Chains A and B, each alone.
Chain A
Amino acid sequence: DAGVIQSPRHEVTEMGQEVTLRCKPISGHNSLFWYRQTMMRGLELLIYFNNNVPIDDSGMPEDRFSAKMPNASFSTLKIQPSEPRDSAVYFCASSLEGVPTDTQYFGPGTRLTVL
């Protein structure tokens, strides 16, 4: 299996621009997670999908952030408009829920820099 795939790996943009991060989970997994990692706050869960439905978005920082999962093999995280404080590494992870103590498999991350 190719693992969780994220694109782009690096993104540099200017404040105010729209940013879209993409994730392809492991085939057959039914749960998908978006995380943000910063030096100040560590790893934070942003949103969780199960069977393509958002279940917990309590970690989404504000209305500028939105996430979608139109099908089982694709998800996006959008920031509009972007701000310098959004600079972070964004990880996508997937798992097969229902398996006892499901393991989350992480993608390589997208390093976002907002100037």
Chain B
Amino acid sequence: AQSVTQLDSHVSVSEGTPVLLRCNYSSSYSPSLFWYVQHPNKGLQLLLKYTSAATLVKGINGFEAEFKKSETSFHLTKPSAHMSDAAEYFCVVQISGGYNKLIFGAGTRLAVHP
């Protein structure tokens, strides 16, 4: 069965420093993976998605993620954090072999300090 584990429930960084949000996945197949962001009191917005093409995926707002099959990881990074990046981030795996069913990780809350 497919699943995702977000290794940190909270991450705190200073503005201008790099961001790393960690995600490990479990899948019998080559998975489709996503990162979604949720700002306070808002809906979820797609940041980026991996679809078995390039292993380094670039998303919106300067975020990118690298698919590493050997490590079963799909970590989200950004070189320089901005105050507006403070939000909750969800790593998501798509169930294969069926419809577009998504399994969400528990989320990582990112705090950015001045």
Contacts and interface: CB of A to CB of B under 8 A. Distances in A.
Contact of B104 (A42, A48, A101): A42
Contacts of B45: 106
A102 B96 CA distance: 12
A45 interface: yes
A91 interface: yes
A91 B102 contact: no
Interface residues of B, number: 21
Contacts of A25: none
Given A42-B107, A91-B43, A91-B44, A104 B49 contact: no
Interface string B69-97: 00000000000000000000010001000
A56 interface: yes
B99 A48 contact: yes
Given A42-B107, A106-B45, A100 B100 contact: no
Interface in B1-54: 32, 34, 36, 41-46, 49, 51
B50 to A, nearest CB: 9
A114 B34 CA distance: 32
B113 to A, nearest CB: 23
Chain A binding site: helix, strand, loop or mixed by DSSP? strand
A115 interface: no
A93 B38 CA distance: 14
B32 A101 contact: yes
A4 to B, nearest CB: 8
B100 A102 contact: yes
A52 to B, nearest CB: 14
A11 interface: no
A113 interface: no
A93 B104 CA distance: 14
Interface of B: 32, 34, 36, 41-46, 49, 51, 90, 94, 99-102, 104-107
Given A31-B99, A103-B46, 5 more contacts: A42-B105, A56-B99, A56-B101, A103-B49, A107-B43
